Amino acid sequence: MDDLGWLRTAVELGRRCPPSATAFSVGAVIVADDQIIAEGFSRQTDPADHAEEVALRHAAGWFAAQREQSTPAAVTIYSSLEPCGQRASRPHTCTDLILQAGLRRVVFALAEPETFVQPRGAALLRAAGVEVVHLPQLADEVADTNAHLR
């Protein structure tokens, strides 16, 4: 599958989020070697969960196994919304968690609106040397999923 196909999977996951007046509905999927490693969506297990955070938590065992190998797989995280670079509900942003996991590629559909914080996740990731790809072809679908915030 190509980037747009995997991103569509993340967008579909975002539709599973329970609505919140104080948070976006986001889906995320982690892919390596054209296989899903983990996925998640906002508020999946806790009201403060972000999608990338859930997916990374679900992938923790896979990442631990990869660290033991001499040639780690190329990994991409696909998120329906730009990963957060500022956060009030938890000590670590999704950007922090992506960097801690060692991911070197991020693909997202909708740039984070200025609804809650100043968007800066993509800029922080790029500054850290991560390849960041913005594919706005699905941005309208993500915005529709978050119509509850309008």
pLDDT in tens, 111-149: 988 777 778 899 999 999 999 999 999 999 999 999 988
pTM, 2 dp: 0.94
Look at residue 24 and give its three-state secondary structure.
coil
Q: For residue 150, what pLDDT is reported? A: 77
Q: Tokens representing 58? A: 């679900």
Model confidence at 87, in pLDDT bands (50, 70, 90)? Answer: confident
Instruction: Reply yes or no on whether the pLDDT at 70 is more than 70.
Output: no
Instruction: Reply yes or no on whether the pLDDT at 73 is more than 80.
Output: no
Q: For residue 112, what pLDDT is reported? A: 84
Instruction: Reply yes or no on whether the pLDDT at 71 is more than 70.
Output: no
The CA distance from 129 to 131, in Å, is: 7
- What rounded mean pLDDT belongs to the chain? 92
Catalytic residue, chosen from 39, 52, 53, 112, is 52
Respond yes or no: is residue 52 known to be catalytic.
Answer: yes
**Closest C-alpha among 38, 4, 10 to residue 24:** 10
Instruction: Reply yes or no on whether the pLDDT at 66 is more than 90.
Output: no
**Closest C-alpha among 69, 55, 77, 90 to residue 7:** 77
Domains defined for the chain, CATH in brackets: 3-149 (3.40.140.10)
Residue 94 and residue 121 in contact, taking contact as beta carbons nearer than 8 Å: yes
Beta strands in the chain (DSSP E): 27-32, 35-41, 75-81, 105-110, 131-134
Q: For residue 24, what pLDDT is reported? A: 93
Q: For residue 91, what pLDDT is reported? A: 84
